Amino acid sequence: MSLCSCAVIGQHPTRFKFKYNEYMTSCKRIKKRMHDVFVTLYQRGVRCFFIGGALGVDMWAGEILLEMQRQEEFQDLDVVMICPFPGHDARWDPKSRARQRKLREGCAEVLMGAERPGAEGYKKRTEYMMERADYVVAVYDNDPSQYSGVKTAMSIVEDRNLPIVLIHPDTGKIRYEM
């Protein structure tokens, strides 16, 4: 079995019905679905997961994956965080910054899309992840009325014809396009 990589992307929590309330059943359902998908992809040979360093899906994915990594059967799993630029989390609340710091410490590698703040860093981060991924997991609803940086990633997914697992943020429904 050849080893593969996976990029994890998702809309910002402001888009979700539960917003930033991780105690809501719908948020817990998304996290459970993400875990289940990560286990399935691991069984298919995925050993490296790329996350983007944002609040919400990126952070949840990193925390779930690092928790999996602590289990004997997933010890060879790596998490690589690609942040848009240094200090991108400077305006986050202290609790979120502490979670981010802990997450960074557990990652195999932490990279930056750009050296300076700005839109270019977000673009480069997305390109880096999508160019290296063999699979993509997206927590995404494909609502055209909602602008999202995830749309950029999704266009790269289509161009590269990457296998993707979609998790709907409102229903938790999983759709495999492989």
Interval 92-117: pLDDT, tens: 999 999 999 999 999 999 999 999 99
Give pLDDT, residue 25. Answer: 95
Q: φ and ψ at 150, to 5 degrees?
A: -65, -30
Regions of the chain short of the pLDDT cut 70? 1, 144-148
Give pLDDT, residue 39. Answer: 98
Give pLDDT, residue 171. Answer: 93
Give pairs for 171-178: CB < 8 Å, separation 24+.
172/26, 172/29, 172/30, 172/32, 172/33, 174/33, 174/36, 174/37
What domains can you pick out in the chain, each with its CATH number?
4-177 (3.40.50.450)
Q: What share of the chain is helix, strand, coil (3-state, %, to 5)?
A: 45, 20, 35
Nearest residue to 11 (alpha-carbon basis) of 101, 144, 113, 128: 144
Give pLDDT, residue 149. Answer: 75
Give pLDDT, residue 59. Answer: 98
pTM for this entry: 0.95
Give pLDDT, residue 178. Answer: 86
